[in-house]
Amino acid sequence: MRNRTIDSIVALGLGLCTNSICVLDARAADLPATEVAPQAALRYEIEGIEFRGNTRTADSVIRRFVPFKSGDVLAVDDPEIEITRYRLLTAGFFSKVRVSLRRGRERGKAILSIEVVERNTLIIDHISMGIAADEDKDGQAELLSPYFGLGVAEANLAGRGMRLNAGVAVAADQWAMTTGFADPAIFKSKWSFDTSLYYVDGRDFFGTKDVSFESPLLSQKTVTDYAIVDYTRFGGSIGGGRDLTLLTHLSFGYRLEAVDAVVPVVASHVRGTTREPIRFHILGGKSVHSSLHAAIRYDSRNRPFLPTAGTVAALRGSVGLTPLGSNYGYQKFEAQYQRWWTLPWAHVISLQSQIGVVHGDAPFFERFYVGDFAEALPGRILGINPDRRQPPNLFNTAIEEVRYGDYAARLVSEYRVELYEGRSSIYGIDLFGRVGLYSVMSHRDLTDAATGYEGAARIPIDLTYNLGLRVETEVGGFSLGFSNLLGLLPARGGDRK
């Protein structure tokens, strides 16, 4: 079982410890070694703060996570001590953090000692791979094809806490790349700075069934399973932020990109039992997309990748800026909440909820995609969508009519069991299983439901599930899920012949 507390320190004299801090010397507590006092009564004036074990990371980087300073009076049971330790661990620079007090030069004073074990900060930021079903440019179904995405990052550039990252994604006739830089303390201030640049050469698949469309790429009208939109996006973002509290961070930014899309001139499909036009939610030819975004995030996890306790909550909003030349005016809001608990037998459960809404003329890549919520389909990777299929439809509802939506919600519970704990290249391996409900729908699904469905089946809702391994290593954390493979099995609404 993982050690959920700080390792005890063996020393002469008094050894009073909480989960966060150990008093190493009776004289620092101003008590005889034989005397016992309630831990809540132990208070010390901080004479100084020292950092140990950080051979690559600058002291100033660690100090940014420490809310204490010389002269502060510190209680042993102060919750900010444990919070500080969690923040240092979730920063991703260290595999272990230990906080302790040692005797100061005067009675009643102590040195706050923060000892760290550094981890590799050149990491694999994300990796995605699997098998997807798609179409060729004429809208004809192709054989299953692989997709792959990889992101790498230096999370502690030059030991200054700066981050430099790059990523690439490849699927059949699609690819994307991105690079970014972030400085959490620009000009040694309390403000952070980040910027990114990206390029996407993608395509997407529209229509439910019996799709008929005429495209500038084709010489004649074609009847297939899907209508194809080819597009490119090139742009970047710039932003900043700052910590509001030890656990709460505010961020904001601006994004500008050029979009070039080839959209079918005429297209229709059968939605439910009725033929109607297809809305692609993107302008044909060249257009401009710009937006402002802001987010506030609360994070009290005790570990960065395999947390056993804590909460993550976030609110995000973005606004398409037509006054600044954008061809798309819209508002988008999202909320997320996730919490972890450790059971008495050391297994971990978590609960995750998400909700989002889009209002206005947002391009399809800013709308909610069903594959980002149904884990049996691959989600978007750096903006590209590798799969053409509709989601599995286990509840036999109108979810099979949905690809992009204006509203989305998901509620998922996960159960995690530790299989292995290591101390070198592999830090831990957990088996996880998750199940929940999700819904993605457009405004039309509320006002004009697809024909052919009765009662509750008109509500596009279904089951999402996954089973796999979570592996935390020296070069990053990975989730190996099997839901995508299960999604390739025939299911009602999952694929069409």
Domains of the chain: which residue ranges? 21-117, 122-487
**pLDDT score, position 142:** 57
CA distance 360 to 444: 13
**pLDDT score, position 134:** 63
Phi, psi of 178 (to 5 degrees): -150, 155
**pLDDT score, position 141:** 53
Q: For residue 226, which of 207, 239, 243 has the smallest C-alpha distance?
A: 207
Stretch among 10-19, 83-92, 254-263, 274-283 having the lowest mean pLDDT: 10-19
21-117: what CATH class?
alpha beta
Q: Most confidently modeled of 5-9, 422-426, 433-437?
A: 433-437
**For 255-275, how does the pLDDT look when each residue is reduced to its tens digit (9 = 90+)?**
999 999 999 988 999 999 999
Share of the chain above pLDDT 90, in %: 62
**For 180-205, how does the pLDDT look when each residue is reduced to its tens digit (9 = 90+)?**
999 999 988 999 999 999 999 999 99
Q: Report DSSP letters for 184-216, one per residue.
A: TTGGGSSEEEEEEEEEEEEEEEE-SSSEEEE-T
Share of the chain above pLDDT 70, in %: 85
**For 227-259, how does the pLDDT look when each residue is reduced to its tens digit (9 = 90+)?**
889 999 999 999 999 999 989 999 999 999 999
* Mean pLDDT over the full length of the chain: 85
For the domain made up of 122-487, give the CATH fold. Porin (2.40.160)
Residue 149: alpha-carbon gap to chain centroid? 15
CA distance 138 to 228: 8
Contacts of 489 (CB under 8 A, 6+ apart): none
Asked if residue 459 lies in contact with residue 439, where contact means CB atoms within 8 angstroms, the answer is: yes
Q: How buried is residue 267: exposed, middle or buried, by Cβ count under 10 Å (0-12/13-18/19+)?
A: buried
pTM attached to this predicted model: 0.85
